């Protein structure tokens, strides 16, 4: 928007992504400010976007949709091919819990050890060991809540799991 005030001041609002600037002054001053904004802010914003990583729900579903389902019983790993390790299964379950939460299908982004056990039928000691490894590697965040200890996948964990599954299966469709 450009407005010329009674004082012959030019008022201009510029927005680019999440960046917004309001400029005012003489037309020449505003033009200089616009040029400065474009030359300094936009490249910095674009560079910051290149190193930012925050997976959208669409990206998560594209990456993991062949391995998971959200059922009336809750989030589930859904793959008949048993080439998945305990680590893969646990991390996938935490990813589907995140998707389930982000899409409003569940009330929590995290799971307890008991919830992981009942969803996977893995040995509780194995689950506990894998979660401990994940926590140390920053693939999973451990949080103490009123319901006890809960676990949720981190962005680093999502990235790790995607790399593992691509190595094992490539981009092939799974059933």
For residue 149, the domain's CATH number is 1.10.10.10
Instruction: Give the per-residue pLDDT at 172.
Output: 53
CB 139 within 8 A of CB 94: no
Mean pLDDT by 10 residues, the chain (175 residues): 65 82 84 78 68 86 90 82 85 95 92 93 94 96 91 96 90 51
The domain in which residue 146 lies consists of 57-169
**CA-wise closest residue to 21 among 8, 35, 34:** 34
For residues 47 and 69, state if they share a domain: no
For residues 20 and 79, state if they share a domain: no
Residue 74, domain member (yes or no): yes
For residues 82 and 22, state if they share a domain: no
For residues 121 and 84, state if they share a domain: yes
Instruction: Give the per-residue pLDDT at 175.
Output: 41
Residue 175, domain member (yes or no): no
Residue 140, domain member (yes or no): yes
Beta carbons within 8 Å of 159's beta carbon, 6+ residues apart: 53
**CA-wise closest residue to 142 among 105, 82, 96, 94:** 94
pTM for the complete prediction? 0.69
Residue 174, domain member (yes or no): no
Instruction: Give the per-residue pLDDT at 125.
Output: 96
Domains identified in the chain, total number: 2
End-to-end Cα, the chain, rounded Å: 53
Among residues 33, 51, 69, which one ends one of the domains? 51
Instruction: Give the per-residue pLDDT at 174.
Output: 46
């Amino acid at each position: 928007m450009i407005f010329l005030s009674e004082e012959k001041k030019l008022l201009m609002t510029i927005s680019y992504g999440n960046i917004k600037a309001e400029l005012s002054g003489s037309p020449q001053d505003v033009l200089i400010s616009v040029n400065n904004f474009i030359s300094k802010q936009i490249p910095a914003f674009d560079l910051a976007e290149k190193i930012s990583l925050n997976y959208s729900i669409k990206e998560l579903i594209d990456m993991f949709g062949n391995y998971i389902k959200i059922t009336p019983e809750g989030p589930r790993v859904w793959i008949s091919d048993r080439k998945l390790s305990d680590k893969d299964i646990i991390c996938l379950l935490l990813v589907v819990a995140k998707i389930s939460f982000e899409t409003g299908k569940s009330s929590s982004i995290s799971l307890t050890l008991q919830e992981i056990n009942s969803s996977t039928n893995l040995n509780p000691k194995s689950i506990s060991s894998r979660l401990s490894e994940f926590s140390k590697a920053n693939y999973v965040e451990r949080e103490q809540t009123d319901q006890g200890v809960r676990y949720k996948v981190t962005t680093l964990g999502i990235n790790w799991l995607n790399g593992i599954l691509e190595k094992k299966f490539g981009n092939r469709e799974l059933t």
